[in-house]
Amino acid sequence: MLGGTVTLDRTTTIDGLLPEALRLDFPYLAQELNGHPLAYLDSGATAQRPRTVLDAERDYLERSNAAVHRGASTLVGTSTTAFEDARATVARFVGAGLREIVWAENATDAINIVALGMADAAAGLGGPEAAVFRLGEGDEIVVTEAEHHANLIPWQRLAAKTGATLRWIPVHDDGTWGIDDAASVIGERTRLVAFAHVSNVTGHLAPVADVAELAHRHGALVLLDACQSVPHRPTDFADLGVDFAAFSAHKMLGPTGIGVLYGREALLDALPPARTGGSTITTVTMESASFLPSPQRFEAGTQPVSQAVALAEAVRYLDALDMQRVHEHEGALAELLVDEVAGIPGIRLLGPAAGVERAALASVDVAGVHAHDVGQFLDSRGIAVRVGHHCAQPLHRRLGLRATTRASAYVYTTPDEIRRFAAALAEVRGFFGIDA
């Protein structure tokens, strides 16, 4: 039983994909949009939640809500157990140790925890163990030209604070890049390499393990933006060889307001905490403070407890589906997206070409029609997509664009929804009076 709603027969599929019955677990998907059945193709921004996740958070708030790690009452004990059990559930999901998972507000916040901690280390905080994080003139931080702003701006600021140089791996005309491109930039002066596992614009999959090996060969740390990978494919950070990683609950059937920072235990214990206060310390005097090991050293103040409980339930839901099966489902949808969209006149599809693996998302430029107008036309047909620069202005600028229209799929997306998207997309230019 999934979601307390539908028993899924793993031998029953739609076009060889996940069962249609799965959608019944998601109340949001039952509604209409502008008189049409909703086709929700914006999961790359925010995924919808199954009833089990909604119920888990509600049940916690109704029966177990209390301040974690504060006090000795039975209720505090129950709340703290639920909070730490959630951490253990998420840790197992991504191949991490219990002390390697830190709660953050979202992935953006998680990345900033590392960037701000490195800035503090460069300012002399953290003691000798923080030396691995200290940057200065002559050091280099490497990102890619395809990064989400959340994995670019923090490193711009860190470079400005420390005197380090920010460099980037260039992308090709389709928005992709490879290990040879990385090797042309990563070198002896590189101290940190930060990049996305999956591009939120192109669906391109980065060669993570190869880049991590290259970076470590030069003595650099590696931070992975895993927002578009952890929800969609089996992911083991230890196997990938990265030092840090970040992802968000709201992209993986979970709630907003909570994200995850993964870090190797020894590195987290050495990183100065970006935010300080209650629950992070061992000893405080009027002159100084000493901090707990990870993860508590980073979790100042009141924590997102009900959100952590809900995220753990989302992980259990995905585990029940089997992440390899989720990956296969989305792989088939990605192929269908490319097949349906690539042949439409006047449509430019960004990212990997047909036959090359990509995530189940597609960003397109419709010749002669602004992305916002494309989105409104699709909305009138009951199809919800994302429009704009997707928090990746440098990538759009490199590709000669200001905005695109993005369709992104997830576990509950059906082939019919992909076909509806493509059929409506084919009508856009005619609707706006542009000759094919």
- We report the CATH number of the domain holding residue 173 as 3.40.640.10
DSSP secondary structure string for all residues of 105-159: SSHHHHHHHHHHHHHHHHTTTT-GGGGGG---TT-EEEEETT--GGGTHHHHHHH
Same domain, 27 and 143: no
Last residue of a domain, one of 276, 298, 319: 319
Residue 383 is part of which domain span? Answer: 20-48+322-431
Tokens of 363: 């960003």
Structural element, H or E, at residue 232: none
3-state SS assignment for residue 222: strand
Asked if the bond preceding 273 is cis, omega within 30° of 0, the reply is: no
- In sequence order, the 6+-apart residues with CB closer than 8 A to the CB of 398 are 145, 170, 171, 175
What is the phi-psi region of residue 186: left when phi exceeds 0, alpha when psi lies from -120 to 50, beta otherwise?
Answer: beta
Q: Give me the tens of pLDDT residue by residue for the chain, a chain 436 residues long.
A: 333 343 444 343 445 556 678 999 999 999 999 999 999 999 999 999 999 999 999 999 998 887 787 767 777 778 889 999 999 999 999 999 999 999 999 999 999 999 999 999 999 999 999 999 999 999 999 999 999 999 999 999 999 999 999 999 999 999 999 999 999 999 999 999 999 999 999 999 999 999 999 999 999 999 999 999 999 999 999 999 999 999 999 999 999 999 999 999 999 999 999 999 988 999 999 999 999 999 999 999 999 999 999 999 999 999 999 999 999 999 999 999 999 999 999 999 999 999 999 999 999 999 999 999 999 999 999 999 999 999 999 999 999 999 999 999 999 999 999 999 999 999 999 999 997 5
pTM of the prediction? 0.95
Q: How far apart are CA 208 and CA 240, in angstroms?
A: 6
Same domain, 407 and 288: no
Q: What does the angle CA 46 – CA 294 – CA 273 come to, to the nearest 5 degrees?
A: 80
The answer to whether residue 5 is domain-embedded is no
Tokens of 431: 């609707």
Q: Give catalytic residue positions.
A: 391
Last residue of a domain, one of 251, 284, 319: 319
**Nearest to 99, CA basis, from 339, 315, 309, 265:** 265
The answer to whether residue 173 is domain-embedded is yes
The answer to whether residue 3 is domain-embedded is no
Same domain, 76 and 220: yes
* Ramachandran angles phi, psi of 379, nearest 5°: -60, -40
CA dihedral 362, 367, 373, 379 (to 10 degrees): -40
Report the Cα 162 to chain-centroid distance in Å. 27
The answer to whether residue 9 is domain-embedded is no
Same domain, 38 and 79: no
**Nearest to 154, CA basis, from 166, 145, 146:** 166
- In sequence order, the 6+-apart residues with CB closer than 8 A to the CB of 424 are 377, 378, 381, 383
The answer to whether residue 6 is domain-embedded is no
Same domain, 289 and 213: yes
